[in-house]
Amino acid sequence: MGLPSTMDANEGIQLCVFDSRRGQREGQELDKILFFYPPDCPYSVQLSVIGLSGGMITFTRLFSPDAACEVIEAERHSHVFYQAEPDIWMVLIVEKVKDSESIWRCDALQAILREIHSLFTMFNGSLQNILDKQPSGALARSCLYTFITDYLTDFRVSKKIKVPTFRDCLKERRTVQMLTISREVAIEVQYCTIPISCPSITVIHLRFLPITTLNCPSAPQGDTANMFTYAVLRLTPHALSSKTSSWSYLRKGVSSSNVTVRSASLNTGSSLEDYQDGSCNTSPRGQGQTYHTARLLQTDNWSKGKDGFLVSGIHGEVGNLVDIPPIVWLQQTEEQVYLCVYQHRNLTIIFLIPASEKIVYVEEKLSKGFGGENAYHVSGYRYLLVDRDKSISRASPPGKVTTLAKDSLLAFNNLREEVDLKKARANREKPDCENNFEMCIRAKNNAWLIAKIARGRELYMVLEKANETLLYASDAVEKFSNRCFVIHVFFHCFPSLSKRSSIIFCRIISSVTYSYGWYCDGAFSLD
Amino acid sequence: MDPEGAAASADSNPLPDPDADPGLEDAGDATGAEGTYARRSLPEDLCPTPNPGEPDSVPDADHVVVDRMNSLDLEDEGETASAEVLGSDGSAPADFYRKPNPDDSDVNPGAEPARAQDTSSLDFEDPGSASGAEPPSGNGTLPSDFYMVESEIEVVDEGCQVVGDMAGTSSLGVRGAWREGSDQDGDVPHSPSSSGYAGERGSSGGLSSGIEELDDPGALSDDWSRKRHRDEDDGSISWRKRKKHYFILSHSGKPIFSRYGDEHKLAGFSATLQAIISFVENSGDHIKHVRAGNHQVVFVVKGPIYLVCISCTEEPYEALKRQLELLYGQMLLILTKSVNRCFEKNPKFDMTPLLSGTDAVFSSLIHSFSRRRIVSIPAAILCVILAAFATAALISSTGLPCSSHNLPPTHCFVSEHHPSQANYFVLSSFSLLLILVVPYEILSENPATFLHAYTCLPLSFATRQAAGAILQDVADSGVLFALLLCKHKVISLVGAQKASLHPDDMLLLSNFIMASESFRTSESFSPICLPRYNPMVFLYAYVDFLDVDTYLILLTTGPDSFYHLKDCRIRIESVLVKSNVLSEVQRSVLDGGLRVEDVPVDSSLRSGSLPPHLSAEKASSELSSSNTIIGGPSGLWHFIYRSINLDQYVSSEFSSPISSSSQQKRLFRAYQNLYASMHDEGTGPHKTQFRRDGDFVILCWITQDFELYAAFDPLADKVQAIKACNRVCQWVRDLENVIFLFGASPFSW
């Protein structure tokens, strides 16, 4: 028995997900394994991996019942554990290659496992649920297989999986990574967006205008009434059901719009099914429909899509089958909004997404004000600022980080490892206490390595061109902290969102929509 | 046992050869035959079986009993004898083998009286909350200590409010409450550095007061009173909750040493550890450490010996690894590395008998990693008085004369107990006078365990020169090393040409001597191995305590040099007495080391009187009317200065803000962490480091010449702290003739 003497040289990592309750009987241990990477790994190897993992978990529980094994450090491998669910464990084994590049922080590796699991859960629900539904585990295995395999492609560098190393020690996974824009732009953008009303994490803002209960102070009353009228006329289930049209999702509309999709922000009106007789006045609301020749009062123009959203007859450009929601004009706020309607049984929710020039303006501002990721780089500083409470991080441009000497990064990686341990210990011992400390190291190559933890925020800095003294370095940190504080004032304007959802959304959006990733910075700076 | 044979075998083959030695072979075979060892069944060869066929072991046992009554190492009554034999001729494993098993001591009639005298022994764990347990003053001089006089108190870090409260209540209550348990067994491992002075020796074993650190919160529940908690095993909750375990086992999974619990009961656990190590090894890898929550499991493999530490202290991996290596070094010091040959011949070789009786040595080393003991003055006085009475009674009953120095070397441990009792009396009386005035605070946390350096007792240059001269004189006459130490502090040290002594070896050697009670009883001649010097061979150490804490070590390569070394010692002693070195030493001990309060403050008057022996140097520095700063200037609380070229360090006394032992331990740990961080393997050593957390501001500064570690008030101002560090460095340089030993053979290798 024993671990594989060498893991596949092409892989560099092994990743295993197993359920410690399964396969209790001798000979059935293989049943424990829900996922194993690389998938073609011989069973004997897989078994020895979970054998050691399971054994160490049991062993360490003898002494540390609350927190079982997290890391096994051996000479040639690091094994990182993550207890994803009470009985579900994920183990990542990375090989230490002699080239001295394979130095990492265990926390950073564990963050990968956490991320895999939280993303998986977002799409598939918890593994436990899947296993409960289908005890044989086939479903869970196939879900995990496709999901993790796809996930790992992001780490693949020329046929080899490359995990984050010490070179990534100025990045923080599982936080919303912010990019800096100039203060002027930020303020201007913020000013522009106030009328759009409170934004949320994805830039999309949800506001409910409860028509039936008129207690929403920010809702423009006249428009609300109009919307309600229209809803009753054409959007409520009753109005829809008066037609028998078997609507198809791809049905062509009457006219096409020349409006292009812009970054969006939603306003919504929610109309509870509050049926009044259909004898409402014809509303003047049509006046806003400047861009559209869509006949929104045509009786058969709305229909319910399979996804619950109502679809108007208006479509995008020819050949593009995407439905473009109609635009309406809100009189009181004098803005154009897209009208999106979602219906569930008798409940109709109306989202109004601003389509006004404001959005264009904000977008322009941001594009102009952005000026490239290095534009607002503070010269001399390489930093990472993490706000754990809000899962936000802000870091030096990656390009600038690579200019740091390897020794500085290596030493800094070690410093971070030490901070991780200290933090984790403090959190375990005094979870309620605020954990404040500060460490400044002048490394052999004269770089200053700084970690400062205060009020839930963590500031990490590497100063390579700092002057001789500790005082200079602390001075630099102070200055920097002050700058950061300004930024943080913005953060604090944020409506508090669940940390989890914010991370997940941002990650998805970053990978799907914008490749260069200032989306969320824009989003945050908006506030 | 045959001293002659033993000496002969020591001569030719320093290490017990199982094949050649019938006794060992028995042991080896027995264990070899025991196939199911690793399966939790207790092998028969490990079961304590008294050896009835050993007539001379009976008198030995008597000695032991007598000795026990005068020593603190109650826990291994039976084993003391073997320890002593080891000390006298470590090359006679047959003797070890024949020694009564520790577990036999319960049936030893001689042990009973000692136990009966045992007063309450109280272990309690407490996160520093033990108001009563901690002497308000750092020196433990207050009456609140009285109630602890007869209590052995173990403080545990996190713990039990109940106990903390108990400690705070009236002394009588405490004693009454805990008496019963302690009567059952009182074997507490004593740090010899703190408890082994003559006064205590004269008293009954349990009679010591001390605050021992902390083990775990659960310890209280059922076996708080057991010294090494021998009744625990891996099944007990209390055992699992201990903060720091150390294990030594063989590559076949046989337990060799465990800090807590009976090794024999931990056979199954040992096998588990072995399985983990070999599982990973089978894959061509080597396990280094495992982390689980606050716990760390550190593995060190040294040939056939596996060492494992399981700790939930905040010490970094590097520190724990180093501690295991020191433990291994301690083992080598007793046995040499040629013990590996036994494993080559018989993989299932059982090493426990070889090390029996040396528990105290390992425990004391472990204490120096993290423990701190304070012996309060009142307790010490009482101990001494009792000791004097006890020894007086003993002498009158045995009627033995005092002639401890005239016996052949191989006898000096085994046969000299009675005479040495007389010495006790003399020494006890002496220490009575001494201890009346000495604040008996002993630091057993020893920075040497992580600093790779030793420390010197502050002495005027002339005094140290005088000591060095006579040692040099002796060294020229065929002595390899001559060391004069006071506790773990060096007074002077001289090596033969080209021979250099590693600080780690000095640490292990002084620990071995101070932890083995028997060295104090008379001059001794014992084979020892210096692992850093040459791990394969035995040297021979002549050890003699010149007074309570001051002892002379003469190391030689020849097993026949006893009489020569004895002559040397006599010469040295007379010179030392004549030149007042010994009295200077006493004075220095009394005065203590550097105090942060004495760090010169710029452009102001200095306050605080200086230790007389330092006054010459201090005269140059300015005096100040320091304002009401607690501790030193700029909130300086403590510092350690290590001279890289000299391999020596000097550490200040603890100032009032860190007078409590829990704070001191925290500081010690902070230093350890800082050291590990600064000496980072890949990228270190760094140049400077500044840390601030809730407990301290700590500054570290490493240059080519020195390393400075300084702890400040957590609110200390950075600028001021840096200035203070500069001043400390300047100050230390001004004093270097006093606090460092120059001219010792340079430890360059």
Which residue in A has a C-alpha nearest to residue B240's C-alpha?
Answer: A63
Cβ of residue A414 closer than 8 Å to a chain B Cβ: yes
Residue to mutate among A72, A450, A452, with most B CBs inside 10 A, is: A72
Identify all chain B residues contacting A405, using CB atoms and an 8 Å cutoff: none
- Taking one residue from A and the other from B, the number of pairs with CB-CB distance under 8 angstroms is 162
Which residues make Cβ contacts (< 8 Å) with residue B628, sequence separation at least 6? none
Rounded Cα gap, residues B624 and B600, in angstroms = 8
CA distance B702 to chain A (A): 10
Cβ–Cβ gap A2/B280 under 8 Å:
yes
CATH architecture, range A176-180+376-526: 2-Layer Sandwich (3.30)
Cβ–Cβ gap B287/A436 under 8 Å:
no
pLDDT over 80 at B328, yes or no: yes
Cα B367 to the center of its chain, rounded Å:
6
CB A113 within 8 A of CB A163: no
Domain ranges for chain B: 453-586, 593-739
Cβ–Cβ gap A441/B719 under 8 Å:
no
Of A2, A407, A440, Cβ closest to residue B283: A2
Rounded Cα gap, residues B269 and B275, in angstroms = 10
Identify all chain B residues contacting A425, using CB atoms and an 8 Å cutoff: 294, 314
CA geometry: angle B12, B14, B18, nearest 5 deg = 95
Q: Residue-wise pLDDT tens for chain A (527 aa)?
A: 444 444 544 568 899 999 999 888 888 888 999 999 888 889 999 999 999 999 999 999 999 998 899 999 999 999 999 999 999 999 999 998 877 778 889 999 999 999 899 888 888 888 999 999 989 989 999 999 998 988 888 888 877 888 888 888 888 887 777 766 666 776 666 665 544 432 222 222 223 333 332 223 345 566 666 777 677 667 766 666 654 333 333 333 333 333 333 333 333 333 333 333 333 333 333 333 333 345 666 667 777 777 777 777 655 444 444 566 777 777 666 667 777 777 776 677 777 766 666 667 777 777 776 666 676 677 777 888 888 887 878 888 888 888 888 888 999 999 999 999 988 888 888 887 778 888 999 988 888 899 988 877 888 989 887 666 777 877 777 777 666 544 443 333 333 344 444 444 444 443 333 322 232 333 332 22
Q: Residues B77-87: pLDDT tens digits?
A: 333 333 333 33
Cβ–Cβ gap B690/A474 under 8 Å:
yes
The conformation of residue A376, written as its DSSP 8-state character, comes to T
Taking a contact as any Cβ pair under 8 Å apart, which residues of chain A between 457 and 486 contact chain B? 469-471, 474
- pLDDT at res. B597: 85
Retrieve residue A297's tokens: 């009062």
Retrieve residue A198's tokens: 């409170």
| β-pair type (A437-442, A267-271) | unpaired
Taking a contact as any Cβ pair under 8 Å apart, which residues of chain B between 358 and 417 contact chain A? none
Q: Which is nearest to B440 in space by CA: B662, B689, B628, B209?
A: B209
CB B709 within 8 A of CB B651: no
CA distances from A41 to A92, A157, B280 (A): 14, 20, 18
Retrieve residue B294's tokens: 């606050």
CB B49 within 8 A of CB B101: yes
- pLDDT at res. A10: 53
Q: Residues B649-669: pLDDT tens digits?
A: 999 988 888 888 888 888 999
Most confident of A150-159, B130-139, B537-546: B537-546
How crowded is residue B355: how many other Cβ atoms within 10 Å of its Cβ?
24
Rounded Cα gap, residues A418 and A430, in angstroms = 18
Cβ–Cβ gap B287/A72 under 8 Å:
yes
Rounded Cα gap, residues A457 and A488, in angstroms = 10
The conformation of residue A194, written as its DSSP 8-state character, comes to T
The conformation of residue A235, written as its DSSP 8-state character, comes to I
pLDDT over 70 at B153, yes or no: no
Q: Of A480 and B306, which is predicted with more confidence?
A: B306
CA distance B298 to chain A (A): 10
Of B240, B685, B687, Cβ closest to residue A63: B240
Of A71, A436, A442, Cβ closest to residue B688: A442
Residue with tokens 């201090």: B618
Identify all chain B residues contacting A2, using CB atoms and an 8 Å cutoff: 279-283
Residue to mutate among A45, A61, A64, A105, with most B CBs inside 10 A, is: A64
Identify all chain A residues contacting B693, using CB atoms and an 8 Å cutoff: 436-438
CA distance A444 to chain B (A): 5
Cα A379 to the center of its chain, rounded Å:
29
Cβ–Cβ gap B282/A74 under 8 Å:
no
Cβ–Cβ gap B279/A436 under 8 Å:
no
| β-pair type (A77-85, A71-74) | antiparallel
CA distance B631 to chain A (A): 22
Of B283, B691, B693, Cβ closest to residue A4: B283
Residue to mutate among A102, A423, A470, with most B CBs inside 10 A, is: A470
Give A90-106 as a DSSP string. EEEEEE--TTTT----H
- B511 φ/ψ sector (left φ>0, alpha ψ -120 to 50, else beta): alpha
Identify all chain B residues contacting A51, using CB atoms and an 8 Å cutoff: 279
Taking a contact as any Cβ pair under 8 Å apart, which residues of chain A between 25 and 84 contact chain B? 48, 51-52, 55-56, 59-64, 66-77
Cα B577 to the center of its chain, rounded Å:
27
Rounded Cα gap, residues B310 and B240, in angstroms = 10
How crowded is residue B667: how many other Cβ atoms within 10 Å of its Cβ?
21
Identify all chain A residues contacting B316, using CB atoms and an 8 Å cutoff: 418, 421
Residue with tokens 């570690």: B709
Identify all chain A residues contacting B692, using CB atoms and an 8 Å cutoff: 437-439
Judged by DSSP in three states, B283 sits in: coil
CATH 3.30.450.70 positions along chain A are: 13-164
Residue to mutate among A441, A453, A472, A477, with most B CBs inside 10 A, is: A441
CB A381 within 8 A of CB A366: no
Cβ–Cβ gap B276/A48 under 8 Å:
no
Q: Which is nearest to B67 in space by CA: B205, B182, B253, B229?
A: B205
CB B325 within 8 A of CB B300: yes
Rounded Cα gap, residues A407 and A166, in angstroms = 10
pLDDT over 50 at B120, yes or no: no
One-letter identity of residue A295: R
Q: Helices B562-578 & B461-475, crossing angle to 10 degrees?
A: 160
- HEC secondary structure over B707-734: EEEEEECCCCCHHHHHHHHHHHHHHHHH
Q: Strands, DSSP E only, in A138-187?
A: 156-157, 160-161, 176-178
- pLDDT at res. B371: 54
Which residue in A has a C-alpha nearest to residue B691's C-alpha?
Answer: A439
CB A66 within 8 A of CB A57: no
Query: Residue B112 phi/psi, 5° resolution?
Result: -60, -45
Of B282, B293, B683, Cβ closest to residue A428: B293
Which residues make Cβ contacts (< 8 Å) with residue B18, sequence separation at least 6? B24, B25, B27, B28, B342, B345, B346, B349
Cβ–Cβ gap B294/A446 under 8 Å:
no
One-letter identity of residue A189: V
Of A64, A73, A438, Cβ closest to residue B289: A73
- pLDDT at res. A324: 66
Which residue in B has a C-alpha nearest to residue A416's C-alpha?
Answer: B677
- pLDDT at res. B321: 94
CA geometry: angle A269, A275, A281, nearest 5 deg = 80
Rounded Cα gap, residues B349 and A302, in angstroms = 88
Judged by DSSP in three states, B489 sits in: strand
pLDDT over 60 at B105, yes or no: no
- pLDDT at res. B426: 32
Residue with tokens 């997404």: A353
Of B240, B275, B283, Cβ closest to residue A3: B283
Number of H helices, E strands in chain A: 13, 19
Of B285, B293, B677, Cβ closest to residue A77: B285
CA distance A154 to chain B (A): 28
CATH topology for B453-586?
A: Beta-Lactamase (3.30.450)
Retrieve residue B619's tokens: 């005269």
Of A63, A429, A471, Cβ closest to residue B718: A471
Residue to mutate among B258, B686, B708, with most A CBs inside 10 A, is: B686
CA distance A94 to chain B (A): 13
Range B3-31 average pLDDT: 38
Gap between the terminal Cα atoms of chain A:
58
CB neighbour class for B127 (10 Å; exposed up to 12, middle 13-18, buried from 19): middle
Which residue in A has a C-alpha nearest to residue B299's C-alpha?
Answer: A74
Q: Residues B433-457: pLDDT tens digits?
A: 333 323 333 445 788 889 989 999 9
pLDDT over 50 at B542, yes or no: yes
Bridge partners, B709 (sequence order): B640, B700
Cβ of residue B687 closer than 8 Å to a chain A Cβ: yes
CB neighbour class for A248 (10 Å; exposed up to 12, middle 13-18, buried from 19): exposed
Mean of all residue pLDDT scores within chain B: 65
Rounded Cα gap, residues B449 and B447, in angstroms = 5
Of A62, A429, A439, Cβ closest to residue B689: A439
CATH topology for B593-739?
A: Beta-Lactamase (3.30.450)
Of A106, A437, A470, Cβ closest to residue B693: A437
Q: Which CATH number fits domain A13-164: 3.40.50.1970, 3.30.70.100, 3.30.450.70, 2.40.10.340?
A: 3.30.450.70
Identify all chain B residues contacting A91, using CB atoms and an 8 Å cutoff: none
Residue to mutate among B290, B309, B695, B702, with most A CBs inside 10 A, is: B290
